[in-house]
């Protein structure tokens, strides 16, 4: 295994000197930082306690009560955890994948009165926020909030996350008609005709299952501001991808991600 090179978080140089109290100094720009230090001035023990309870699904109020930390410190810690989850993106998929889009948001009865005057519309054409997802059979899921569900938006995302030559299963939504042209084997499932799987095993049931999981988790939060949805989406994608991993292993993985985050000069720990 190749030795990991520590680089300067400011200029990226690889020539580093060790100086006082565990700090490192860049030979190029002279910047000093402390590798491996945790962000937000929480101790490693405090971080582990917060992350353990977070991974168990406890609310921020319950985590505050259990840890004895200030509520604002807990909220900042959970935001930071979601941010590093968002950057822990799976490697590009290969083999057979499923693609689909869904729409998430508050219930129609909770919207403003002038919006409620119009009849609620579900699915495509709704006022809810669109999310595009890709699931690799027997592996991970990837999902992202998108501005719309046009081919111009969705197909480049597919190309960025799925290797050419892979088999892509989708429904018959119009923007997916260009999938085969992009270098993939495209298999369609006609949901509009009541078909949810064909004789060859082509379906998007796995991704539909993730959408159900995502919406249950979001509903349990009792409402999330639209601008914060990408962070919560990242949380549930990460948790879903690690659902078969023991909680302690998940905790260790998040600690490692946070340690790497602490290498950036904006976070002094």
CB–CB of 141/233 below 8 Å?
A: no
Q: Are residues 133 and 204 in the same domain?
A: yes
* Residue 266's pLDDT band (cuts 50, 70, 90): very low
Q: How far is CA 82 from CA 68, 201, 228, 231, in A?
A: 21, 35, 10, 6
Q: Are residues 184 and 236 in the same domain?
A: yes
Q: Are residues 75 and 202 in the same domain?
A: no
Q: Are residues 146 and 204 in the same domain?
A: yes
3 or 127: which carries more pLDDT confidence? Answer: 127
CATH number at residue 24: 2.20.25
Q: In what order do the strands lie in the sheet containing 32-33?
A: 16-18, 24-26, 32-33
> Which of 18-22, 76-80, 94-98, 259-263 bottoms out in mean pLDDT, i.e. has the lowest?
259-263
Q: Are residues 148 and 77 in the same domain?
A: no
CB–CB of 183/105 below 8 Å?
A: no
Instruction: Name the nearest CA neighbour of 111 among 89, 134, 127.
Output: 127
- Phi, psi of 60, rounded to the nearest 5 degrees: -65, -35
Is 81 inside a domain boundary?
yes
Q: Where are the beta strands (DSSP E) in 20-176?
A: 24-26, 32-33, 96-104, 129-136, 141-145, 167-170
Kind and range of the H or E run holding 97: strand 96-104
Q: Are residues 217 and 138 in the same domain?
A: yes
Is 55 inside a domain boundary?
yes
Kind and range of the H or E run holding 233: helix 229-241
Percent of the chain whose predicted confidence (pLDDT) is above 70: 77
Instruction: Name the nearest CA neighbour of 145 among 90, 227, 205, 239.
Output: 227
Question: What is the tens place of the pLDDT at every residue in 89-103?
Answer: 999 999 999 999 999
DSSP code of residue 123: S
Number of domains in the chain: 3
Q: Compute and round to an integer the Cα radius of gyration of the chain.
A: 22
Q: Are residues 73 and 147 in the same domain?
A: no
Decide which of 28, 58, 87 is a domain's last residue: 87
Distance between CA atoms of residues 36 and 33, nearest Å: 9
Domain span at residue 231 reads 96-241
| pTM above threshold 0.85 | no
Q: Are residues 115 and 206 in the same domain?
A: yes
Is 196 inside a domain boundary?
yes
Distance between CA atoms of residues 106 and 222, nearest Å: 9
Q: Are residues 74 and 20 in the same domain?
A: no
Is 191 inside a domain boundary?
yes
Is 57 inside a domain boundary?
yes
> Which of 81-85, 92-96, 112-116, 245-249 bottoms out in mean pLDDT, i.e. has the lowest?
112-116
Is 193 inside a domain boundary?
yes
Burial class (CB in 10 A: 0-12, 13-18, 19+), 158: buried
DSSP code of residue 170: E
Residue that is written with structure tokens 């720990």 in the block: 269
Is 187 inside a domain boundary?
yes
Question: What is the tens place of the pLDDT at every residue in 207-221?
Answer: 999 999 999 999 988
pLDDT of residue 260: 78
Q: Are residues 59 and 33 in the same domain?
A: no
114 is written with which tokens?
Answer: 């002038």
Q: Are residues 102 and 152 in the same domain?
A: yes
Q: Are residues 206 and 121 in the same domain?
A: yes
CATH number at residue 230: 3.30.420.10
Is 186 inside a domain boundary?
yes
Residues in the chain: 269
Please give the distance of CA 17 from its chain centroid, rounded to a whole number.
Answer: 35
């Amino acid at each position: 295994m190749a030795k990991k090179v520590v680089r300067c978080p400011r200029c990226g140089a690889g020539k580093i000197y060790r100086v006082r109290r565990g700090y490192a100094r860049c030979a190029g720009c002279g910047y000093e930082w402390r590798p491996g230090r945790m962000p937000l001035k929480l101790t490693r023990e405090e971080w582990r306690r917060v992350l353990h309870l977070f991974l168990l699904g406890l609310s921020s109020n319950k985590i505050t009560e259990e840890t004895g930390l200030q509520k604002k410190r807990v909220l900042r810690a959970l935001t930071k955890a979601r941010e590093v989850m968002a950057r822990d993106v799976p490697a590009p998929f290969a083999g057979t994948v499923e693609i689909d889009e869904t729409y998430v948001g508050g219930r129609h009865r909770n919207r403003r009165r002038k919006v409620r005057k119009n009849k609620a519309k579900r699915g495509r054409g709704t006022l809810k926020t669109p999310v595009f997802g890709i699931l690799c059979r027997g592996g991970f899921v990837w999902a992202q909030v998108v501005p719309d569900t046009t081919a111009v938006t969705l197909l480049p995302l597919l190309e960025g996350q799925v290797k050419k030559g892979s088999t892509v299963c989708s429904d018959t939504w119009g923007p997916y008609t260009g999938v085969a042209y992009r270098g993939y084997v495209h298999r369609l499932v006609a949901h509009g005709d009541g078909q949810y799987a064909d004789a060859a095993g082509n379906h998007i049931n796995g991704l539909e299952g993730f959408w159900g999981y995502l919406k249950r988790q979001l509903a349990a939060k009792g409402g999330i501001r639209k601008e914060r949805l990408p962070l919560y989406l990242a949380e549930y994608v990460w948790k879903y991808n690690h659902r078969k991993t023991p909680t302690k292993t998940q905790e260790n993985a998040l600690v490692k991600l946070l340690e790497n985050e602490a290498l950036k000069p904006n976070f002094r720990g």
